[in-house]
Chain A
Amino acid sequence: MKRYILTILFLLTLLLPAYGAGNKPVLRMVTSANFPPYEFHDNNTIVGIDVDIVREIAKRNNFDLLIEDMKFDSIIAAVQTGKGDIAASAITVTEDRKKMVDFSIPYVTSRQVIIVPGDSLIDSGKVLKGKRIGVQHGTTGDNYVTENIGEPQRYDDASMAITALLKGKLDAVVLDYEPSQVHAAKNPALKILEEPLFFEEYAFAVAKGRGQLLAVINQTLSQLKKDGVLTEIRKKYEKHTEEVVKNVTEEKYTGIAGDFYTNFVKDNRWQYLVDGFYVTIAVAVSSVLFGVLIGFVVAVIRSTADQTGKLKIANFFCRLYLAVIRGTPVVLQLLIIYFVVFGSVDVDKVLVAIIAFGINSGAYVAEIIRSGIMSVDRGQMEAGRSLGFSYLQTMNLIILPQAFKNVLPALGNEFIVLLKETSVCGFIALQDLTKGGDIIRSQTYNAFMPLIAVALIYLLLVVIFSKLLEILEKRLKRNE
């Protein structure tokens, strides 16, 4: 057992990143980099209007800039809990958000537009009532439609909404101006209504009580406006949008081969999948080891309490652990561990994910192993005790090896479930396999091909793992 513990500790230390101590103070920017031209992945770096502006702010005030990519839903929470200093993600100033964070002066005015099929009779926002409208979940378009028009269909990303519109499942999609241009260019069957649904202002957000930082940001923003730097940056990316529009309409290849080329080959996009693959493997394997460790301890405590009536207090806490962990969704546990438990500590997100999934998996593994322990004949414990082994020795040397073998298929199952559960890593901005696919989708505006590729990789992993498990099972079966 000691050997396993050491192995796991060793694996965990490997995953701890070495933090270089810079001399300059660090400005940590949080963003959701799937919103070109404001923020997006380009050749494995995050670029965009927001990024350039914040970079300029950092430069002029002698900060080192550190950019963190996460789900848009998490960004406000990230600055509130101190995970980031400045949220720069094309955030619209709204009254609700003002209650949670402080906003800088607006740096750009944008608009929400309506996309409809070319032959649609919808010609303005005034006739949207009663229509099936698609929005991107959590955006201002979502809020506006919900409050002023009616319940929309909420999609996690814009390409999904566009796909639904193309398939006739929606009558219109409300979207920010810039991505709408790309989507419309890519899909000639769609058109953007000239009259925007409404105008909105983007600003940066900081946590309440950080007046000094806010003052610095505002001061620099005014300067940038005066210098014309803001306009320069916007122009630079206008060109980028034009290029994307040109690219998606004039691809080298067409059909499936073209889609494949755009999604994986072009700009080395396959790299997102490879990087994500490593993260997924690291998180899944380490957390299953961690989970098995927790599971063994909890299972032994629970079985000991059941069989001998001892360890009542430890058993109580084990039961509490099982109830809480099995009774709540893993995404919530992940978010709580990241934002609350490690709220004020700068800790590597891979480690956070391993801890969260390890603790989660441990609860299921504990019950699996407990069922294994119960499946071992009572006589085995008695034989061990009669030979002078202590209770724990008997557990370790005699009961657990047999229990482990009995529950191997169930443990394998748990690992497969865990492997796929790690796909929610994106919630804390960890770029796992699923998130890698999402990044590609945000760049290529293609709804399905990256998803299918990601699914195939998961499938392949599970098939290989199942095969390995089968071999292990056969070897363990030799003494039957």
Chain B
Amino acid sequence: MDILSINNLSKSFRQQQVLRDISFTVKQGEVIAVIGPSGSGKTTLLRCAAMLENADGGSIDLGGISVVESGKYADKASLKSARTKCGMVFQNFNLFPHMLVLDNIIDAPVHVLGIPRQEAVREALALLGKMEMQEYVNAYPCELSGGQQQRVAIARALALHPEILFFDEPTSALDPELTNGVLRVIRALAEEDMTMVIVTHEMDFAEKVADRIIFMADGMVVEDGPAAEVIHNPANERTKAFIAGLKSGF
């Protein structure tokens, strides 16, 4: 079953076309890594899929709801229910600085889904445990390291029981020694068959965790295939050049 299906998606910022005719699908339990040079439209693609940005043309189906059909967006109610089906993890975490870690996590379940507070707290504690963050339940975000904040942000996204999670370069804002903790919990999620789309620069991680890798350049999907194949045996010249460039860089 397809959780996410994107067809002929296009998007421009003023004169500049950022996404051109993008199509791909994500099946239940699949983990997709989106790679490509900066400015290739990876983040914009993810933001369109997560409904943070409006596409100009094409279609998006999310969790069985038609979000946009040939460039026309659905009514408010459909959009609202589609929003709760996907979670987003940001490069800069975007935790709410004026709330405790616990409140960051339970605020949406309580106010959006109407889950009783007690139940939301119980679940939040369980999620924090899974993120190895249980002891920070009563801390403010400013008291945490970047890696810890990102793990709280993942717990916050998971608290809504999304059918799919989007990660926008989840480790790019972290010091290298802090990335491991974050990558570890994402990996654990993959093992639980969480459906995920991850924009990343961590090629090793992408290879280990992703089922498929999508390579983007100039707003187009250039290559879409099994992870090992795209990395070790890319069909497209540009993919080859990009991956070779990454390797020789070190």
Partners in one complex: yes
Tell me the smallest distance from the CB of A60 to a CB of chain B, in Å: 69
- Residue picked from A383, A384, A386, most chain B C-beta under 10 Å: A386
Q: CA–CA, A85 to B215, complex, Å?
A: 85
Residue B121 interfacial (CB < 8 Å): no
Q: CA–CA, A384 to B107, complex, Å?
A: 10
Q: Are B80 and A380 in contact (CB under 8 A)?
A: no
Q: Are A388 and B90 in contact (CB under 8 A)?
A: no
Residue B88 interfacial (CB < 8 Å): yes
Q: CA–CA, A479 to B103, complex, Å?
A: 13
> Given the complex, which residues of B lie within 8 Å of A393, measured CB to CB?
111-112
In chain A, positions 257-298 with a C-beta closer than 8 Å to chain B are none
In chain A, positions 369-397 with a C-beta closer than 8 Å to chain B are 377, 379-380, 382-390, 393, 397
Q: Give the contact stretch, choosing among B92-100, B189-197, B236-244.
A: B92-100
Q: CA–CA, A387 to B80, complex, Å?
A: 10
Q: Are B83 and A388 in contact (CB under 8 A)?
A: yes
Residue B52 interfacial (CB < 8 Å): yes
Q: Are B96 and A383 in contact (CB under 8 A)?
A: yes
Beyond A383-B96, A386-B83, A405-B98, whether A479 also contacts B88 by CB under 8 A is no
Beyond A387-B108, A479-B97, whether A379 also contacts B156 by CB under 8 A is no
Residue B140 interfacial (CB < 8 Å): yes
Residue B5 interfacial (CB < 8 Å): no
* A interface residues, how many (CB within 8 angstroms): 21
Residue A245 interfacial (CB < 8 Å): no
Q: CA–CA, A389 to B160, complex, Å?
A: 11
Residue B220 interfacial (CB < 8 Å): no
Interface size class, chain B: 20 to 34
Q: Are A397 and B90 in contact (CB under 8 A)?
A: no
Q: CA–CA, A331 to B88, complex, Å?
A: 52
In chain B, positions 190-241 with a C-beta closer than 8 Å to chain A are none
Q: Are B156 and A387 in contact (CB under 8 A)?
A: yes
Total A-B Cβ pairs within 8 A: 66
Residue B63 interfacial (CB < 8 Å): no
Residue B87 interfacial (CB < 8 Å): yes
Q: Are A389 and B94 in contact (CB under 8 A)?
A: no
Residue B142 interfacial (CB < 8 Å): yes
Q: CA–CA, A405 to B98, complex, Å?
A: 9
B112 nearest CB neighbor, chain A only: A388
Beyond A388-B83, A402-B97, A479-B140, whether A383 also contacts B90 by CB under 8 A is yes
Q: Are A389 and B111 in contact (CB under 8 A)?
A: yes
Q: Are B90 and A379 in contact (CB under 8 A)?
A: yes
B108 nearest CB neighbor, chain A only: A387
A contact face: mostly helix, strand, loop, or mixed: helix
Q: CA–CA, A480 to B50, complex, Å?
A: 30
Q: Are B160 and A388 in contact (CB under 8 A)?
A: yes
Beyond A388-B108, A397-B111, whether A383 also contacts B80 by CB under 8 A is no
Q: CA–CA, A392 to B96, complex, Å?
A: 16
Of the candidates A377, A380, A386, A398, the one whose C-beta lies within 8 Å of that of B88 is A386
Residue A478 interfacial (CB < 8 Å): yes
> Given the complex, which residues of B lie within 8 Å of A398, measured CB to CB?
96
- Residue picked from B88, B95, B96, most chain A C-beta under 10 Å: B96
Q: Are A479 and B142 in contact (CB under 8 A)?
A: yes
Tell me the smallest distance from the CB of B97 to a CB of chain A, in Å: 6
B95 nearest CB neighbor, chain A only: A383
Q: CA–CA, A390 to B52, complex, Å?
A: 12
Interface string of B95-128 (1 = CB under 8 A from A): 1111100000001100111000000000000000
Tell me the smallest distance from the CB of B166 to a CB of chain A, in Å: 8
Q: Are B96 and A385 in contact (CB under 8 A)?
A: no
A376 nearest CB neighbor, chain B only: B97
Of the candidates B94, B112, B142, the one whose C-beta lies within 8 Å of that of A380 is B94
Q: Are A385 and B52 in contact (CB under 8 A)?
A: yes
Q: Are B107 and A397 in contact (CB under 8 A)?
A: yes
> Given the complex, which residues of A lie within 8 Å of B141, measured CB to CB?
479
> Given the complex, which residues of A lie within 8 Å of B51, measured CB to CB?
385-386
In chain B, positions 137-155 with a C-beta closer than 8 Å to chain A are 140-142
Q: CA–CA, A384 to B83, complex, Å?
A: 11
Residue A25 interfacial (CB < 8 Å): no
Residue A401 interfacial (CB < 8 Å): yes
> Given the complex, which residues of A lie within 8 Å of B86, measured CB to CB?
386
Tell me the smallest distance from the CB of A53 to a CB of chain B, in Å: 65
B80 nearest CB neighbor, chain A only: A388
Q: CA–CA, A385 to B90, complex, Å?
A: 12
> Given the complex, which residues of A lie within 8 Å of B92, measured CB to CB?
377, 379
Q: Are A385 and B83 in contact (CB under 8 A)?
A: yes
Q: Are B108 and A401 in contact (CB under 8 A)?
A: no
In chain B, positions 158-196 with a C-beta closer than 8 Å to chain A are 160
Q: CA–CA, A131 to B140, complex, Å?
A: 73
Q: Are B160 and A382 in contact (CB under 8 A)?
A: no
Q: CA–CA, A405 to B97, complex, Å?
A: 11
Q: CA–CA, A383 to B99, complex, Å?
A: 14
Q: CA–CA, A401 to B92, complex, Å?
A: 20
A478 nearest CB neighbor, chain B only: B140
> Given the complex, which residues of A lie within 8 Å of B83, measured CB to CB?
385-386, 388
Q: CA–CA, A382 to B80, complex, Å?
A: 14
> Given the complex, which residues of B lie within 8 Å of A384, measured CB to CB?
96
Q: CA–CA, A400 to B211, complex, Å?
A: 41
Beyond A387-B156, A480-B142, whether A382 also contacts B52 by CB under 8 A is yes
> Given the complex, which residues of B lie within 8 Å of A383, measured CB to CB?
88, 90, 94-96
B97 nearest CB neighbor, chain A only: A479
Residue B84 interfacial (CB < 8 Å): yes
Tell me the smallest distance from the CB of B112 to a CB of chain A, in Å: 4
11 contacts across the A-B interface (CB closer than 8 A): A384-B96, A385-B51, A386-B83, A386-B86, A386-B88, A388-B112, A389-B112, A401-B98, A405-B98, A479-B98, A480-B97
Per CB-CB distance, the 4 closest pairs between chain A and chain B, nearest first, are A383-B94, A386-B88, A387-B108, A379-B94
